[in-house]
């Protein structure tokens, strides 16, 4: 049976889809058969970041409605044989997702995959609550800003009370914190919360810190999960995240301001 991971946050623009793409690709590269589902019905961004938007024929809602089967709708990633994408519909509304329909799709995926990553919309609307309902693990994505952290705290309340595990009195969803767009320089200037500040508010296991990086935007624009850019700080950070999630002990990087060498100090490089 697959482990179901929801990538969620209380606020839009925090990096959920970038994170879903990176984590699913990272798991697949580690030999884990992985499916990633876009729950953002009506908008649909995951296929763009995965670089497979031109290959979408059937989508998540088609499968739920019985208009196509999973084999028809799943898009195999060109770069990794272990990774498959189930895109969202751009033409339906969020009411097209039903709890029974989502449950059936996840149950069928669980037979053939090791991990199913659910890319949740922001907030607490229908797509988001359904994305988290069946989850075993939750990666809570937040920026180091007060409003983002506060909204993520609200999501933790929903994860604890509105999941299938909560309803059935099972072991709670395992929650992880992923801090994105982190800049030690801005923390030093008091423009951002520090990692310790965020952990003090949310009290979550820290899965990783993703530095503020142009590589994220460049990867999104080119339809490539940023984890594949292993020369970039963000790509390396997501690689660390996947290894930690799979149980490796990996020290956290990119938490401190990089020390400049002699030439950097002399020439501002």
pLDDT, tens only, 110-135: 999 999 999 998 877 788 899 999 99
Between helix 99-112 and helix 126-133 the angle, nearest 10°, is 40
Six-digit token string for 12: 């839009």
Roughly what angle, to the nearest 10 degrees, separates helices 16-29 and 214-221? Answer: 80
Least Cα distance to 134 among 105, 154, 112, 155 occurs for 105
pLDDT confidence tier of residue 14, bands split at 50, 70 and 90: confident
pLDDT at residue 13, rounded to an integer:
75
Handedness of CA 224, 70, 82, 180 (dihedral sign): positive
Strand partners, 139: 7, 176
- Indicate the range of 78-87, 93-102, 180-189 predicted with least confidence: 93-102
In which band, very low, low, confident or very high, does the pLDDT at 94 lie, cut at 50, 70 and 90?
low
- Across 138-170, b (16+ Cβ under 10 Å) vs e yields bbbbbbbbeebbebbbebbebbeeebbbeeeee
pLDDT value of position 218: 95
> Which run of H or E residues covers position 218?
helix 214-221
Cα(233)–Cα(254) distance, rounded to whole angstroms?
8
Residue 76 has pLDDT above 60, yes or no: yes
pTM of this structure = 0.93
Per DSSP, the three-state class of 68 is coil
Whether residue 8 contacts residue 158, with contact meaning beta carbons closer than 8 Å, is answered with no
Specify the 3-state DSSP secondary structure of 142: strand
pLDDT of residue 262: 53
């Amino acid at each position: 049976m697959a482990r179901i991971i929801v990538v969620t946050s209380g606020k839009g623009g925090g990096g959920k889809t970038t994170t879903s793409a990176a984590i699913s690709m990272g798991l697949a590269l580690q030999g884990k058969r992985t499916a990633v589902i876009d729950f953002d019905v009506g908008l649909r961004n995951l296929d763009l970041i995965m670089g497979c938007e031109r290959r979408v024929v059937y989508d998540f809602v088609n499968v739920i409605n019985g208009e196509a089967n999973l084999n028809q709708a799943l898009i195999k990633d060109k770069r990794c044989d272990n990774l498959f994408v189930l895109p969202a519909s751009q033409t339906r509304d969020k009411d097209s997702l039903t709890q029974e329909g989502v449950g059936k799709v996840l149950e069928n995926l669980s037979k053939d995959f090791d991990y199913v990553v659910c890319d949740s919309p922001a907030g607490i609307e229908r797509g988001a609550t359904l994305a988290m309902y069946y989850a075993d693990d939750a990666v809570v994505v937040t920026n180091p800003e007060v409003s983002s952290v506060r909204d993520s705290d609200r999501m933790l309340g929903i994860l604890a009370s509105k999941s299938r595990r909560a309803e059935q009195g099972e072991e709670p969803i395992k929650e992880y914190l992923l801090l994105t767009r982190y800049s030690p320089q801005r923390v030093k200037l008091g423009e951002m919360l520090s990692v310790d500040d965020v952990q003090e508010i949310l009290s979550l296991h820290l899965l990783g810190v993703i530095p503020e990086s142009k590589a994220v935007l460049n990867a999104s624009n080119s339809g490539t999960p940023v984890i594949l850019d292993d020369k970039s700080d963000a790509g390396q950070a997501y690689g660390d995240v996947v290894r930690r999630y799979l149980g490796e002990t990996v020290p956290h990087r990119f938490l401190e301001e990089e020390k400049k060498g002699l030439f950097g100090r002399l020439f501002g490089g």
